[in-house]
C-alpha cells in the first residue's frame, strides 16, 4: 500500500518523538544509577575507612616486540584505607614491607602506628610513607595512581559533575548483573597530575550494579603521563569481591599496564620499546583503630 507524503511525514515525526522519549528515559535512568553509585562511594569510604589489607604485587618490564621478560620485581606491602578529616573523601596508602623477599627495616606496621599515634601531622607522614614506597615501583616513571580504589573517586560527589558518563552495555560480573558505564573527565582533569605538575584528564569504565550502585569492577585509563615526544598510556583494571568478615566489597585483584617512550634507562636500547605490567592481589583485610581527628 502506498503512503502519501503527509502520512510519511507524520510517521517520521512519530518515530523521532518516540526515539527522543526513549533516549530521555534512558538518560534519566543512567542519572539515577550514577546517583546511587555516588552515594555508594561516600558510604563505602566510611565503611572502608580504617581498614588494612595485605598486597602481593608482581611488576615486570617486558619487550613489546615479543613480550620477553626484561626484569621482574616482587613487592609485599600493606595498604591502609583512611577517610580524610571533615570530608566524605578518602585515600589509600601503600607501605612496602619487602622487595624481592628482602625485608625493609622498620617497615612492618608503620602505617598503622602512624594513624594510632597522637599527632597533628599524621596525614602528611602517611603520604610520605606512600611516596617513599612508590620508589620501589619497577620502571623509570614515578606513579602513585596504582592503588586499587583510584577509579572510584570519579563518581564521588565532589568529582562526578566534572565527568561525562554513558552506558555502554550490561554484563554479568561475580554473579551480579552490572551496567558498564564509560566515564571521561572534562577539560584538563582534576585528580591526576604528571610529575611536572600538569593535570591529566582520565577516562575509563565502571561496572555498576544498578539497584544499589555497588562497583564490582573498574578500568582507569590515563594518557600523556610521560613528558616529551611519543604516546604514553596507563591502564589499571580492578576486580572486587565480597569479604565476609567485613561484609564489604573489597579489591581482590589489580592489573596494570604502562606503554610509553621510556628514556630514563639509558642502558636499554632506545630503539626498542618495552612495557611495564603488574598484577596485585589483596587479602587479610582487617580493621585498625584510628583517631579521626587527623589534620
Determine the Cα–Cα distance for residues 231 and 30; give it in Å rounded to an integer: 33
| Residues 51-97 pLDDT 10s | 899 999 999 998 887 888 989 999 999 998 877 665 566 778 899 99
Whole-number percent of the chain with pLDDT over 70: 80
Task: Render 95-139 in DSSP notation, one character per residue.
Answer: EEEEETTEEPTT-TTHHHHHHHS--TTHHHHHHHHHHHHHTTSSS
The answer to the question of residue 142 being in a domain is yes
**Is-contact 75 57, C-beta < 8 A?**
yes
CA distance linking residue 254 with residue 218, whole number of Å? 9
User: Could you tell me if residue 165 is left (phi over 0), alpha (psi between -120 and 50 degrees) or otherwise beta?
Assistant: beta
Question: Are the C-beta atoms of residues 280 and 55 closer than 8 Å to each other?
Answer: yes
Determine, yes or no, domain membership for 292: no
CB atoms near residue 183 (< 10 Å): 22
- Could you tell me if residue 193 is inside a domain? yes
Closest alpha carbon to 149 in 251, 230, 54, 15: 251
For residues 236-265, average pLDDT? 87
Contacts of 180 (CB under 8 A, 6+ apart): 167, 168, 169, 170, 171, 205, 206, 207
pTM score, whole prediction: 0.83
Residue 64 belongs to what domain range?
5-287
In a domain, 213, yes or no: yes
For 185-242, write each residue's pLDDT tens digit: 987 777 888 777 788 889 999 999 999 999 999 999 998 877 655 578 899 999 999 9
Measured in whole angstroms, the distance separating CA 8 from the mean position of its chain's CA atoms is 50
Grid coordinates belonging to 158: 565532589
The answer to whether 51 touches 128, Cβ cutoff 8 Å, is no
pLDDT at 272 over 80: no
In a domain, residue 56? The reply is yes
Q: Mean pLDDT in the chain?
A: 82
How many other C-beta atoms are found inside a 10 Å radius of the C-beta of residue 154? 25
Are the CB atoms for 52 and 108 separated by under 8 Å? no
In a domain, 39, yes or no: yes
Count of domains forming the chain? 1
DSSP lists the bridge partners of residue 72 as 60
| Nearest alpha carbon to residue 104 among 129, 68, 121 | 129
Amino acid at each position: 500500500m502506498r503512503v502519501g507524503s503527509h502520512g510519511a511525514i507524520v510517521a517520521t515525526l512519530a518515530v523521532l518523538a518516540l526515539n527522543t522519549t526513549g533516549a530521555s528515559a534512558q538518560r534519566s535512568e543512567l542519572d539515577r544509577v550514577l546517583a546511587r553509585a555516588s552515594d555508594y562511594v561516600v558510604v563505602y569510604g566510611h565503611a572502608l575507612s580504617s581498614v588494612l589489607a595485605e598486597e602481593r604485587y608482581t611488576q615486570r618490564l617486558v619487550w613489546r616486540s615479543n613480550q620477553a621478560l626484561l626484569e621482574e620485581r616482587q613487592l609485599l606491602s600493606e595498604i591502609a584505607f583512611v577517610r580524610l578529616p571533615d570530608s566524605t573523601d578518602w585515600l589509600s596508602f601503600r607501605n612496602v614491607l619487602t622487595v624481592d623477599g628482602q625485608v625493609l627495616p622498620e617497615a612492618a606496621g608503620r602505617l598503622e602506628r602512624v594513624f594510632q599515634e597522637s599527632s597533628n601531622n599524621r596525614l602528611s607522614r602517611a603520604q610520605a610513607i606512600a611516596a617513599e614506597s612508590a620508589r620501589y615501583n619497577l620502571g623509570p616513571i614515578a606513579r602513585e595512581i596504582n592503588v586499587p580504589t583510584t577509579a572510584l573517586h570519579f563518581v564521588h560527589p565532589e568529582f562526578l559533575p566534572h565527568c561525562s558518563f554513558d552506558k555502554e552495555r550490561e554484563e554479568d560480573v561475580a554473579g551480579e548483573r552490572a551496567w558498564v558505564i564509560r566515564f571521561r573527565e572534562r577539560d584538563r582533569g582534576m585528580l591526576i597530575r604528571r610529575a611536572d605538575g600538569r593535570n591529566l584528564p582520565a577516562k575509563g569504565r565502571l561496572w555498576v550494579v544498578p539497584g544499589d550502585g555497588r562497583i564490582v569492577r573498574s578500568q582507569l585509563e590515563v594518557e600523556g603521563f610521560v613528558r616529551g615526544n611519543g604516546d604514553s598510556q596507563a591502564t589499571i583494571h580492578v576486580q572486587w569481591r565480597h569479604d565476609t568478615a567485613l561484609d564489604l566489597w573489597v579489591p581482590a585483584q589489580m592489573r596494570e599496564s604502562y606503554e610509553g617512550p621510556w628514556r630514563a634507562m639509558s642502558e636499554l636500547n632506545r630503539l626498542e620499546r618495552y612495557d611495564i605490567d603488574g598484577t596485585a592481589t589483596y587479602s587479610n583485610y582487617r580493621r585498625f583503630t584510628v583517631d579521626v581527628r587527623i589534620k
